[in-house]
Chains A and B, each alone.
Chain A
Amino acid sequence: MIRGKVNSPVPLIRTFSHEGRKGFGGILQERKGEAKLAMWKSDWSDRLTNQTLLDREAIRVSGRGRNVDFSLDDTVPIDQLEEHLRQHLERNGDWLVDGEAVTISVGRRVLKPEDLMRIRQIFEDEFHLKIAGFRCEPEILEREISEETGVPIFLAHPKGLSTPKAKAIRQAGTSLLVKNSCRSGTSILHDGDVVVLGDVNPGAQVIATGDIIILGALRGIAHAGANATDATEAFIIAFVLRPLQLRIGRYIGTAPTDNGKEQATVVPEIARVSGHSIVVAPFTGKFQRNPMP
């Protein structure tokens, strides 16, 4: 078992350690001040947009009756998506007649009015197509957008999930399923939740704006709730939780530097923020929304 204390770039306040909690009771630290965080956040969004597309089609076109539908991958950052869209229309747009009405499926992406207008501009001004409407998942439907932009927005699945259930599933972003172990040097950045089917080894990092679930051993770095200032809701679950460093929102915890033997029994554990520190508890399989007051 490898454990080490990691020096933080900013002065740290030592916070109390939790009694009776397994694993991460050692040193729990909080970043002081917001300046560093803001810097880091801009770095994050930079890296997110520079991320290359995996072998995935960002734009898919399908016919719905007489209607042509453009499905936009909701995991691709909006700036990249625009580029993909332009390229796609330039290469494959010949068969579309000028003025033809198309619909746009945005998936689970939460579109800001200005994003919507940018997409509309590409279709209507640059390629002379008409947008009949946007399709989206029910939980991200925002009527104001429709009113503000004058474009009709309708549900992708009219008999879809009811609103409270959809909220429990997650409002923004989608989940990324990583179907292999993350070895040293791997960096996964995702706007949403991340599930890793394998281990996260030392030297690898998983950074997500949502939650992180690792169906294996976490020995590297995991950062959940990455660009939220208040990420008390975010959590990290791993079958074997032995990270070098845990980060949830603006909290950083390092592993205790004891040279003790590994615990005899290894249970899945959940790490989350409680009372200004990261607290680790055994994960019994039932997720409770607010288990720690």
Chain B
Amino acid sequence: MTSAHLSLTVAAGERRTILWTRLLRRATPWLFSLPAVVFVAMFFGYPIVQNVVMSFQEYTTSTFYSGAAPWVGLANYATILSSYLFTTTLVNTALFTVGSITFQFVIGLALALFFKRAFPLSGFLRSMLLLPWLIPLIASSAVWKWLLDQESGALNQFLGLFGVPAVPWLVDPTLALAGVIGVNIWLGIPFNVAILYSGLQAVPKELYEAGSLDGATGWKAFRHITWPNLRPVVSVVIVLGVVYTLKVVDIILGLTGGGPANSTQTLATNAYNKSFVEFNFGEGAAISNVLIVVSLVFALVYLYLSRREPSE
């Protein structure tokens, strides 16, 4: 009896350890991903959830002291969607993003192709291209504001040499957006060159050798060898570029502050203004959620493209 009882408890103990090991073994993969999950939840999940909650609240300066943020449902969304500024900011955001990305990419690709051929000082010059990236945005936007000044700006003085009358770059509502896009293109070129250049390095040299035997040189080589091999890199550059450009705030604030007469106001700058100038955090959060949704669409496009890629 006693021995049987003993063996039973031993068995039970053994079974418990086996269960534990099994559980642990099954949990191991999850434990490995735990740090990542905690990180994402804390630094991405929490702010996004907080932002979504905030967009349904009347969240103002008073909220900070009293903690009271009355629930207002969809009122913030109704206000921003019916606002006179919403269409303007949406159109400006689209123009700003498309304009910036197109030129950043085309110029970036051209420069990357140019630097692919090794020539004296090419390495040095390529690293100099990264300069716009290294300068703090506040400094570079201040310098650009000064360069683009209508009366004493360096750009207009240069154009004046060719008899061009002073161009009101940041002052004319129709030109200001173009001016801001121009500066953002300058800023985005290094990113495009850096990524596309490394993409070009990864294209096997043998392909070009084989291609040249078949008469594929110059444009033909680009069309049939470089481009197809660069496609995955291109989609990364463009999708990341779009997401980065959608949320640009600092360069616009530094140059025009969204003016003149709201002609350079984008979703991102408007969200900033609502939250940190007017202290209307609820509406600011609602606008930034619209921006998040737009970015998310592009992220999905990216995921779709990158999944489709290998089958080609």
Q: A and B: partners?
A: no
Which residues from chain A sit less than 8 Å from chain B, CB to CB?
none
Which residues from chain B sit less than 8 Å from chain A, CB to CB?
none
